[in-house]
Amino acid sequence: MLDEIVNLIKNAAGEAVQAHPDVPNEQASAVAEEASHSILGDLENGLKGCGISDILGMLTGKKSDIAGNSTTQSMTGNLASKLTEKLGISPAAASALGASIIPTVLSKLTGKVNDPSDNSLDLQGVINQLTGGKTAGIDLKSILDRNGDGEINLGDAVSMFTGGDSNATGQQQSGGGILDKLKGMFGA
């Protein structure tokens, strides 16, 4: 399942680099790797904190404005910053790449999760991957919309996804996560 998400990111990054005249095509692989780390890390962190409502709303199809979503905008800025800092891409080009890659990946991810004829990705599996297995055995679909209004109880959801195991500063203690799983995929 992680491979499927990384492939979505690689394809979106490759297309964005090819479409941008100021970014050499030779950087497509490095951009894809940085985008993978950034997107998966931001989704993982969002599910552990205040972005949970946006991410779950997006993945369940209840929030259709992916580009206008505050989590998407934050992720776009984070990726642009990393592309500038780590790859030396100009801020303008990095912003354009982020604005292309992030909404494209999130739209395709949401589409695949909600497409009943596509079983390559499902909500339960994606969330389970992003939370490091903390949602295994939990029926997310029934929890997410118990009263049919498309909203969830943020406090309960945060506790569920973080396993209620926070340190004194409220930070999630982790013995690894999705970013650790990515290392082997890019030869790192």
Tens digits of per-residue pLDDT, 76-88? 999 999 999 999 9
Res. 177: pLDDT tops 80: no
| Residue 173 binned pLDDT confidence (cut-offs 50, 70, 90) | very low
Residues 56-90 as b/e (b if ≥16 CB within 10 A, e otherwise) read bbbbbebbeebeebebbbebbebbbebbbeebebe
Averaged pLDDT score across all residues of the chain: 78
Q: Which domain holds residue 117?
A: 2-186
How many domains does the structure of the chain reveal? 1
Question: Backbone phi, then psi, for 7, in 5-degree steps?
Answer: -65, -40
For the whole prediction, is pTM greater than 0.85? no
d(CA 91, CA 147): 44
pLDDT of 187? 54
| Residue 175 binned pLDDT confidence (cut-offs 50, 70, 90) | very low
